[in-house]
Amino acid sequence: MSLRDISIIHNNKKGLFSVPVKSYNASQGNLVKAPIFQVNTPDTYLSGAPGDSYTVNFQLQNIGNATGTCEVQLKDSGGVVLASASHTMNPEDVVNSSLSGTFPSGLSGNVTWTLNGYNIDRAVVDATLNINVDCNPWIIGVMDTGGRTADGATLEWIDKDGNILSSVPTSFFDSHPSYQFDELITGGNYFRRIPIAYWKRGTGPAGSDAAGKWCMWISALPVDGFAASPYSFKRNDAWMEQFYYGTYRAFNNGGVPGSQPDKTHWDTVSFDAFKSAATSMGDGHHMVSLFEWQEILSRMVIEKKTFNLFPESVRATKSLCQWRGIQEMAYSGSVYAEWMDGVRNGASSVYEVWDQAGGSFVSTGVVGIATGTNYATKFLSGGAFDFLYLAETAASSGFIVPDLTPYYNNANTICYSFFYSSGGYSGSFDSDFYHSSSSTRSVIGSRIAKW
């Protein structure tokens, strides 16, 4: 027996009453005992990113007049059962329970899932509830407003549609999957995990606050119009979910580079020697690349809403040269430059870049400029340059970044990033092409990374 709401008119007055009823078989003219199930949930909205956990709480009640079993099923928009639980219940029984799982990979945007109460005894679905699922790609960006100061371009946060966000709390980035740099300690060396992220650079859409302005967006998910850097996250033709970046500038650990705190930085080591020593460690160890370094800087630009990430005033203070667990960033100590792989200059100062992470060098056909004492007013774009910050044009005013990028651009040279505390021009983005791969200088070291 169960309760049903029945509309009754009595003395020209209409009312709604709950009355006990039983299942009735009209063809046989007798009452039929059967379980009937009712499902309710407070969780009609879920949000997260692929791999995140979710929980759907529910209350199940047998409102029929017989004992039976109900399978509560959570189904995706294609009808695939994601999670389920069965409960055998007597009439009037109430069960409070939940279903848990992780959002499937590849899920993005807004979709509708269903919570079904499948009556096993009667082979019917007694109840269906819709659950709105927002698989958040965490898209956020910055736009160049056109304003210029000594810090470079004045930036504003924007949403995925190019409209200005007046404020973005630190807690947003603290939760954003692309900003979670988990620590890895292996072989006594410290690394930070840099998860794959997806980028879009270009002009803002018509009708938005960013219309016609330079913009850069990041997404935690592979959505239309966004791309991950194959120069950081694709190796041997396979995409990687992360790379690992040395937490500390390298020290000489018995002839191979190490990444540990409070060590004397390895100096007077050539690009060739450091690269060979790092590779000899095996297990994906390698010299850091300009792509990896500037992948990290891009994320910092969006969070900090500026291109002046480590101003001249902080670069000589080690404790101030850190961000999200990575230490000694743009730090000007006894060593204040780092060799970087992945980009080099060929004949006639034509840029050559990896075809993918750790791959072969290929010519871009683009001749790099030397900014000298000028600064970038426009970045090179297209292909590998969409993941770098190298100047296409430069001037003494109206610049985007307050760093020389690059100051030198000689033929047949390799890259080093230059961080100097006695020059406002030598911050995070100062990447130069001046030395040969066999050159050594007492102020140039490097850092290890790991695939």
Q: Give pLDDT, residue 432.
A: 93
Examine the pLDDT at 357 and tell me if it is beyond 60.
Answer: yes
152 lies in the same domain as 85: no
Do 254 and 399 belong together in one domain?
yes
Omega of the bond leading into 222 within 30 degrees of 0 (cis):
no
Last residue of a domain, one of 81, 102, 135: 135
Q: Which of 10-19, 293-302, 371-380, 383-392 has the lowest mean pLDDT?
A: 10-19
Give me the mean pLDDT over the 136-149 stretch: 94
Q: How many domains does the chain have?
A: 2
Residue 241, pLDDT above cutoff 90: yes
Tokens of 67: 């004992």
Residues 75 and 92 in one domain: yes
Report the pLDDT averaged over residues 57-61. 96
Kindly state whether residues 145 and 102 are assigned to the same domain. no
Q: What is the pLDDT of residues 183-230, one digit of tens each?
A: 999 999 999 999 999 999 999 999 999 999 999 999 998 888 999 999
pLDDT for 58: 96
Do residues 172 and 87 both lie within one domain? no
48 and 103 Cβ atoms separated by less than 8 Å: yes
pLDDT digits (tens, 9 = 90+) for 119-131: 999 999 999 999 9
Q: What is the pLDDT of residue 32?
A: 75
Q: What is the pLDDT of residue 224?
A: 85
Residue 114's domain is classified under what CATH number? 2.60.40.2550
Q: Which two tokens stand for residue 75?
A: 């189904």
Domain that holds residue 34: 2-135
| 3 has a pLDDT exceeding 60 | no
Q: Give the 3-state DSSP-derived string for 133-198, with helices as H, strands as E and coil as C.
A: EEECCCCEEEEEEEEEECCEEEEEEECCCCCECCCCCHHHHHHCHHHCCCEEEECCEEEEEEECCE
**Three-state SS at 76:** coil
Cα 394 from Cα 373, distance rounded (Å):
9
Domain end among 135, 163, 180: 135
With bands split at pLDDT 50, 70 and 90, how would you rate the model's confidence at 31? Answer: low
- For the residues 176-183, what does the mean pLDDT come to? 97
pLDDT score for 109: 73
Handedness of CA 374, 375, 381, 385 (dihedral sign): positive
Instruction: Give yes or no for residue 29 having a pLDDT over 60.
Output: no
Contacts of 77 (CB under 8 A, 6+ apart): 111, 112, 113
Placement of tokens 């409960």 in the chain: 87
- Spatial CB neighbours of 4, under 8 Å, sequence gap ≥ 6: 18, 19, 20, 21
In the prediction, which pLDDT does 415 show? Answer: 95
pLDDT bracket for residue 23 (50, 70, 90): very low
- Mean pLDDT for 134-140 is 85
pLDDT band at 30 (very low <50, low <70, confident <90, very high): low
Per-residue pLDDT tens for 396-442? 999 999 998 888 889 999 999 999 998 778 999 999 999 999 999 99
Tell me: do 21 and 151 sit in the same domain.
Answer: no
Residues 268 and 329 in one domain: yes
Contacts of 311 (CB under 8 A, 6+ apart): 151, 424, 427
264 close to 429: Cβ distance less than 8 angstroms: no
pLDDT digits (tens, 9 = 90+) for 104-119: 877 777 789 999 999 9
Residue 370's pLDDT is 86
Which uninterrupted H or E stretch holds 124? Answer: strand 124-135
- On whether both 243 and 347 belong to a single domain, the answer is yes
Gap between the Cα atoms of 38 and 198, Å rounded: 43
Q: Do 183 and 299 have their domain in common? A: yes
The backbone torsions φ and ψ at residue 52, rounded to the nearest 5 degrees and listed phi first, read: -70, 155
Instruction: Write down the pLDDT at residue 49.
Output: 72
Same domain for 95 and 229 = no
Query: Among 90-99, 100-109, 147-156, whose mean pLDDT is lowest?
Result: 100-109
Residue pLDDT, tens place only, 321-350 = 999 999 999 999 999 999 999 999 999 999
Cα–Cα dist 295/170, whole Å: 20
The pTM assigned to this predicted structure is 0.76
| Token couple for 237 | 């033709």
58 and 155 within one domain = no
Same domain (yes/no): 204, 353: yes
- Does residue 8 surpass a pLDDT of 60? no
Alpha-carbon distance of 240 to 196, in angstroms, equals: 7
| pLDDT class of 14 with cuts at 50, 70, 90 | very low
% residues pLDDT > 70 (the chain): 93
Which of 118, 135, 152 terminates a domain? The answer is 135
Distance between CA 335 and CA 440 in Å, rounded?
12
- Amino acid letter for position 300: M
